[in-house]
């Protein structure tokens, strides 16, 4: 019976870990896409005619692109604050169960101290479930923060790319009567 409970908790932990990885993959992909579009923008930047419309579009583009980069970085490396729902006793109990967290494992002075703590944890089914539910809870909070920044970044990337496409459309409309686009080089 205890093994079934642990398996359920481990499946939930695995799902949360996959969500964490997906958020990172999406953020890196969006950062790459934004970088590619920025290269195109930089190449044609010098041929954009100066007008109130183009200046406004360029400002919107740069603001959105910079905020998108900040949000993508915060997705990859979010700043997590301890939960306000935790009681001081919960923090103390959580420190007893650091045997499964990499940061907690590093706190042990040597291998024998860690091995002893791990044996103590494995001996108690409740302790095992507490360790993994604590990890699930922590990962869920990390995922909430990551996906908040990712949603913002997606919106900002879409606005930045749409603005860049509007500038390119303006370039075509501006230079089309002349018969050709000026060379960016």
Confidence of residue 185 (pLDDT cuts 50, 70, 90): low
Handedness of CA 168, 174, 180, 183 (dihedral sign): negative
Q: Is a pLDDT exceeding 80 seen at residue 128?
A: no
Domains in the chain: boundaries: 2-43+51-175
Tens of pLDDT, residues 47-81:
888 889 999 999 999 999 999 999 999 999 887 76
Q: Stretch 156-182: mean pLDDT, rounded?
A: 84
Contacts of 17 (CB under 8 A, 6+ apart): 139
Lowest mean pLDDT among 89-103, 122-136, 156-170: 89-103
Q: State residue 62's pLDDT score.
A: 93
Confidence of residue 27 (pLDDT cuts 50, 70, 90): very high
**Distance between CA 108 and CA 54 in Å, rounded?**
59
Please, where are the H alpha helices in the chain?
2-44, 52-76, 88-96, 102-105, 111-123, 125-175
Is 57:166 a contact under the CB 8 Å cutoff?
Answer: yes
Candidates 35, 33, 41; CA nearest to 57 is: 41
**Distance between CA 150 and CA 24 in Å, rounded?**
9
Share of the chain above pLDDT 90, in %: 35
| Average pLDDT over the chain, rounded to an integer | 82
Confidence of residue 147 (pLDDT cuts 50, 70, 90): very high
Q: Is a pLDDT exceeding 80 seen at residue 83?
A: no
Left, alpha or beta for 179 (phi > 0: left; psi -120 to 50: alpha)? Answer: left
The structure tokens 């905020």 sit at 67
Q: How far apart are the first and last CA of the chain?
A: 71
Three-class SS state of 51: coil
């Amino acid at each position: 019976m205890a093994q079934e409970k642990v398996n359920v908790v481990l499946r939930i932990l695995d799902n949360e870990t996959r969500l964490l990885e997906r958020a990172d993959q999406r953020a890196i992909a969006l950062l790459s896409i934004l970088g590619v579009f920025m290269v195109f923008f930089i190449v044609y930047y010098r041929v954009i005619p100066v007008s109130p419309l183009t200046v406004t579009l360029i400002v919107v583009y740069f603001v959105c692109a910079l905020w998108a980069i900040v949000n993508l970085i915060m997705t990859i490396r979010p700043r997590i604050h301890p939960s306000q729902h935790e009681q001081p006793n919960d923090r103390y109990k959580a420190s007893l169960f650091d045997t499964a967290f990499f940061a907690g494992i590093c706190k042990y002075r040597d291998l024998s101290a860690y091995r002893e703590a791990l044996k103590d944890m494995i001996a108690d089914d409740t302790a095992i479930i507490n360790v993994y539910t604590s990890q699930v809870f922590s990962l869920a909070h990390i995922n909430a923060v990551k996906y908040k920044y990712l949603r913002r970044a997606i919106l900002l990337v879409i606005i930045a790319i749409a603005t860049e496409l509007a500038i390119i459309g303006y370039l075509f409309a501006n230079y089309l009567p002349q018969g050709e686009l000026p060379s960016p080089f």
